[in-house]
Amino acid sequence: MGVNMTKVRGQGMAAINYPTGMNLGGDPSQALIHASTTGNFIISLSSTDLGQGLKTVIAQIGAETLGVPFDTVIIDTADTDTGPHCMGTFASRATHRVGNAVMMAANEAKKALLDVAADELEASPDDLELDGNGSIVVKGVPDRSISVIDTALAAHFKHGKTIAGRGIYMKPKSKVDPLTGEMDPDSTEAHACTVAEVEVDTETGEVKVLSLKSAYEVGQQVNPALVEGQIVGGALMGIGHALYETTNPYYPAIDHGPLNFSDYLMPGPAELPEMESVVLEFPSSNGPYGVKGVGEMTANCPIPAIVNAINNALGVRITTLPVTPEVVLRALEEKAAQA
């Protein structure tokens, strides 16, 4: 028997929805914005960045709404003495909730900015627009303009006015009907579909994920590179959940619990499959610029796609996680016993 005779391949798919922006408890978030005399706008929050890039995407949303350069929007977070209330960064809610609050605050600040610019330019605020490069121009008359920093200086030193805005986003708390389960627990639905290819060694029980090809529909992307980061990172988490990870290997027994990363196996570079994804953008009805959110969902589709691919490869029906070599070999033994 040749070495490769023990390796079989299979394909599996899975498709999921993910409800983003949980709101059973109401879960509001606030944002404050003010223009400083440096020409910057400071967005004050108490929201945390978990490494997913929240501070960057919130600055993008603020800059878009204000109509000012991205580099001039500063995020000041997270401090309970300076930042207004945020429920927190969880439930795929931050870009959706905090983004909406920032848009509201930015619109108020923009109105204050344009009012001062209108005085300086002797024009109506309705005739002004931000050019995205740091200037406020009279529509159709490009040489009648004033910079954002000059407007901020004029507001403070000449007009005695503030340029600031307040924003909040809250979807009212959803009560759950205890008899029927009627509830409105989320804000919008994102979607994913993954096709997985695996190779299983029937001699050792080891599974190798060869490829993951996925489509994600996450509403408007604020930052496609950060969305891709979530998709790739989530796929690795999915591989780990599908094949390796648990804190109780003999669950429900509690013995042999891993205490470090040599005992707690996670996928590393050697386990990285070929990965390809497409992102669809169907705007949500209630997110900032049509955002839905992609934070939590990216492990959810690879997990069942990988296990379906294993079952397809072996002609078995494994129904537990993680699918360790022991699980694979026991399933093959059971299949042989039934034959």
Partner 1 sequence: MGANVLEKAAEKKYRVVGQSVPRRDGMGHVTGTTKFVGDVHYPGMLHLKMVRSPVPHAKINGIDFSEAEKVPGFVRVLTHRDVPKNIYTILCLIGVGPDDEPVLAVDKVRYQGEPIAAILAETEEAALEAVAKVKLDLEELPAVFDVEEALKPGAPIVADTGVNYFIYEGHHCRRVRYGDVEAGFAQADFIVEETYNTKPIEHAPTETTGCVAKPEADGRVTVHTNTQALYFSLDNTALILQVPFQKLHFVGGTVGGGFGGKVDVITEPITTLAAMKTGRPVKFIYSRAEEMQVSSPRSAWRLKYKDGVMKDGRIVARQITSYADAGAYNRHTPYAVTKHAANVAGPYTIPNVHIDAHCVFTNHTPGSAFRGFGVTMASFAIELQMDKIAATVGLDPWTIRFINAYRNGDVRPHRKVAEDVTFIETMQAAAKLAGHELPEHLLAMNSWDRNGGQHD
CA distances from residue 4 to 7, 310, 325, 333 in whole angstroms, order as listed: 5, 17, 17, 20
Sign, Cα dihedral of 317, 323, 328, 329: negative
Q: How far is residue 299's CA from residue 295's CA, in Å, rounded to a whole number?
A: 10
Is 241 near partner 1 (CB under 8 A)?
A: yes
Closer of 34 and 55 to partner 1 (Cβ): 55
Task: Name the nearest CA neighbour of 146 among 117, 116, 111, 122.
Answer: 117
Say how far residue 10 (Cα) sits from the centre of its chain.
30
* Site for partner 1 contains 308 (CB under 8 A): yes
User: Per rule CB under 8 A, is residue 222 in the interface with partner 1?
Assistant: yes
Query: Per CB under 8 A, does 141 bind partner 1?
Result: no
* Residues 19-58 as x/- pattern, contact with partner 1 by CB under 8 A: x--x-xxx-------------------x-xxxx-x-xx--
Task: Report the residue from 91, 128, 207, 316 that binds partner 1 according to the rule CB under 8 A.
Answer: 91
Distances (CA, A) of 81 to 73, 84, 90, 338: 20, 8, 21, 66
Position among 319, 326, 333, 334 found at the interface with partner 1 (CB under 8 A): 319
Tokens 């029927």 belong to residue? 180
Q: Rule CB under 8 A: say whether 221 interacts with partner 1.
A: yes
Nearest distance from residue 236's CB to partner 1, in Å? 11
Binding piece for partner 1, criterion CB under 8 A, among 140-148, 154-162, 201-209, 286-294: 286-294
Establish if 311 lies at the interface with partner 1 (CB under 8 A). Answer: yes
Which residue of the set 64, 217, 245, 296 is catalytic? 296
Q: Do you find a cis peptide bond into 322, omega within 30 degrees of 0?
A: yes
Report yes or no: 318 and 325 within 8 Å, Cβ to Cβ.
no
Q: Considering only residues 132, 142, 162, 334, which one is a binding residue for partner 1 as defined by CB under 8 A?
A: 132
Binding mask 161-200 for partner 1 (x = CB under 8 A): ------------x--x-xxxxxxxxx-xx-xxxxx-----
Q: In what order do the strands lie in the sheet with 141-147?
A: 128-130, 135-138, 141-147
Q: For partner 1, how many residues bind (rule: CB under 8 A)?
A: 121
Three-state SS for 290? helix
Catalytic residue flag (residue 296): yes
Told to check if 96 binds partner 1 by CB under 8 A, we report no
Stretch that binds partner 1, among 13-21, 34-42, 112-120, 140-148 (CB under 8 A): 13-21
Question: At its nearest, how many Å lie between partner 1 and the CB of residue 161?
Answer: 26
Q: Counting contacts by CB under 8 A, is residue 207 touching partner 1?
A: no
Residue 62 amino acid letter: G
In the chain the first and final C-alpha atoms are separated, in Å, by 22
The least distance separating partner 1 from the CB of residue 138, rounded to whole angstroms, comes to: 19
Q: For residue 294, what are the CA distances in angstroms to 158, 230, 309?
A: 45, 7, 24
Q: Tokens 């009012």 label which residue?
A: 115
Q: Which is nearer to partner 1, 16 or 232 (CB)?
A: 16
Contact between 335 and partner 1 by CB under 8 A: the answer reads: no
Tell me the catalytic residues. 296
